[in-house]
Structure 1
């Protein structure tokens, strides 16, 4: 049986603009044939086992000719596969999606088209410029700015376009701006008409240059403005000062900042979402992966088998909670098996996770670190107390040693293990050394150790700022002869985000 091809638009750059339908298609893909994407995090929807084929086109640099892309799509579908053709923006707005659809039709390949959010409308909106506005503009036109200037005749009807439409949006037009503005003015568009050049639209490094039709070409030359950018012409540009939101420092204080997130892949989104909401461009490079412990839960399962013998259970992380309760359920038990044991949690996130399992922690110290738990338990531990501490396979020994010094019997059992991710070190080292990353975030000691291991040495980290979730993580940074620039006073993701926001403000 023949497969099927989905021609879908990825949107202009901000991954939040990917449509629900596009995400659904990506999740069921056997093959993804994709262009140069402004944000490759969109590919995270693609199954790990799916084949990924890059055919990206950038200015004057084509990885694969269009004719060959057409053949590739049909051939993969002929193998019975679900093929997603992922294109930036919208496939039918200067995306050559029509050509691909016709080629599939000629081969008898079924296809569907899922429109994407086009940069023609979304990029001006992110700059605070509506393409239409009551009393200002009732029409707009989207025009290619990529016409070959050496052609004998332009396909653009300048005599009608220049004054016949209120708002003009030229895509891919920076290189040809002298020709575009010359034709507009020659056909009646006043030189003092407001205009704007918007570069890297909808991304955290978006730049907006406000000018006029008469001065735009000179501005591009003077300020060395390079693609990708769009050029918008019309009185709606005057609304930017009132409607701008994406690059306002008071609303999005991290706009333009590039921040490296080193948490495990399954946990990175919480930090990424908070930083992105403040305007940052987050580069997710997980340096750790959470796996079962090396003893395959043997010690944890044994401890679960005698839960009624413990006076206290102490959880030091969200991972510890989740792995403990997963094994509890596998053992055919639920929270009733905890009996009269009291529960301690380090940190608000760990406490919140416990509540999700119906457990309200008896002890959550104000300072989210092992020292505070030990101090709080010292006065309330019963004589010859038995304590269960399910935690990471490798962790500090301060807490169990302190509790033993108080006379408690402590069973430390591995609930999970953090192992290093070893891919992507060369690329991250290059970006750090070139100053392309403004900040590296560390949320645990293991993220520090494993990033240094991934990079090979500490040298790349000397070119950027470092933010730590708390003093224990900061101590690990110090152990590598590095100096943290920011240390959160509240040892949570929210506390880390607040610290970063305050420092960059």
Structure 2
């Protein structure tokens, strides 16, 4: 069997857009991905639908897989002839143990590449408004581990060199050792009034910061139960934060949104929400499989008076079927409608006039085009499956882990179909905690969506009259928006 190849990839600090081009290309061609807890799981959306995903995450109090097991698994998968991506948070060469993994591959004569990433010790301060170097505040910068392999986990460092020779110091994962760090820096000459900032979940919308000095930061962190993952930045350069704090001023900073999905294509709404500073958890993760074409519908295609498309993908697939079957589109006499603004846009992009589902008359011969998720209240309609959309169950445990660490405060339901999926696949199967329905603002994009939500016992906090991404963004940014 031909040997495979490994790519040891830095996933960046958290913001999904901070992955390198080369790292993203590796993910897109991967057959196996071994990923860590701190690698943003949204990056896995770019992997092929048949890619094997293996969680290697570590928590402070337990290991899912120990490093030796990860090394062995990495070697085994490459020996199977697979393209294997080892996806690690930040930069794999900065406290990422990439040297051990690369050595295991080299010792077995296996091919590998190391793809650098943006390390959190630089990125997290920048997202908190603090460059790690500045001509007026510091010309030297050090990255330091705040833990080592000793029994007490307290690193044996050149404290005198750090205290007297380095202007700015970034300690990785150092919250539990804050008293030890502060004490040693002060003892070796650092002023007890030296500014310190703790940055938790840097570059995510759930980024939290805590400022203090070497003399009081440990007590402050204990008082508010500040935890890892976090960067501890020490130095006078921290004072720049007040002037340069940019990320936390984004209009949707702090918004942690669950966006109910019905399609397999990349979500423009999710992308725009993230651009405005929000964290977005898209649920569920779908993949498509082909189905046989229903020739009975094809033969009667000219008889339908309305055709309702359930997703943008269904528009593309319907046109492909017509072409494959040699059917002139002019034979289709029906008016076109979409279950969402995205579906309507997909139709208009193909040159067809279309309206939203809510504008569709309740009489006439109706064909619903899409997958098995048929909208409520359309029992009389014919159905044409262009493909079968199924939930990618590999992502179920990923969603659960993400939701455990997030503090979701907003739920966005784009269409009536998304409501059904959100409840039946998320809430009822306990992938999504039911408590979120009580603690989150529920936004329904359109009256039909709100009606579907009510049928499942959900009360919308906001019903948008214009169910499009611009209205959602405006509403969440607290601008004027049309709603009822």
TM-score (norm 2): 0.84
- Partner in structure 2 of residue 264 of structure 1: 262
Provide the rounded CA distance (Å) in 2 between the counterparts of 1:436 and 1:186.
39
| Greater displacement, 220-229 / 28-37 | 28-37
- Partner in structure 2 of residue 492 of structure 1: 468
Pick one of 404, 407, 410 that aligns with 1:439.
Answer: 410
Is residue 469 from structure 1 mapped to residue 469 from structure 2 by the alignment? no
Task: Verify the 8 A CA contact 2:5 2:78 in the aligned structure 1.
Answer: yes
- Partner in structure 1 of residue 109 of structure 2: 108
Task: Verify the 8 A CA contact 1:11 1:89 in the aligned structure 2.
Answer: yes
- Partner in structure 1 of residue 30 of structure 2: 29
1:220 alignment partner, SS class? helix
Q: CA deviation at 1:189?
A: 1.4
Is residue 279 from structure 1 mapped to residue 251 from structure 2 by the alignment? no
Pick one of 315, 322, 329 that aligns with 1:321.
Answer: 315
Pick one of 384, 388, 396 that aligns with 1:414.
Answer: 384
- Cα–Cα, structure 1 residues 24 and 314, in superposed 2: closer, same or farther, change >3 Å? same
- Cα–Cα, structure 1 residues 200 and 144, in superposed 2: closer, same or farther, change >3 Å? same
1:198 alignment partner, SS class? strand
Q: CA deviation at 1:124?
A: 0.6
- Cα–Cα, structure 1 residues 123 and 164, in superposed 2: closer, same or farther, change >3 Å? same
TM-score (norm 1): 0.81
1:195 alignment partner, SS class? strand
Provide the rounded CA distance (Å) in 2 between the counterparts of 1:27 and 1:96.
24
- Partner in structure 1 of residue 236 of structure 2: 235
- Partner in structure 2 of residue 448 of structure 1: 419
Q: CA deviation at 1:240?
A: 1.0
Task: Verify the 8 A CA contact 1:174 1:226 in the aligned structure 2.
Answer: yes
2:94 alignment partner, SS class? coil
- CA RMSD in angstroms comes to 3.7
- Cα–Cα, structure 1 residues 151 and 484, in superposed 2: closer, same or farther, change >3 Å? closer
Q: CA deviation at 1:502?
A: 2.8
Is residue 352 from structure 1 mapped to residue 351 from structure 2 by the alignment? no
Is residue 297 from structure 1 mapped to residue 268 from structure 2 by the alignment? no
Q: CA deviation at 1:414?
A: 3.2
| Greater displacement, 456-465 / 105-114 | 456-465
Q: CA deviation at 1:122?
A: 0.6
Provide the rounded CA distance (Å) in 1 between the counterparts of 2:416 and 2:360.
19
Provide the rounded CA distance (Å) in 1 between the counterparts of 2:385 and 2:134.
58
Report how many aligned residue pairs link the two structures. 470
Task: Verify the 8 A CA contact 2:28 2:48 in the aligned structure 1.
Answer: yes
Q: CA deviation at 1:168?
A: 1.0
Q: CA deviation at 1:395?
A: 4.0
Provide the rounded CA distance (Å) in 1 between the counterparts of 2:406 and 2:392.
22
Q: CA deviation at 1:58?
A: 2.6
Task: Verify the 8 A CA contact 1:315 1:345 in the aligned structure 2.
Answer: yes
1:124 alignment partner, SS class? helix
Gaps of 5+ in 2: none
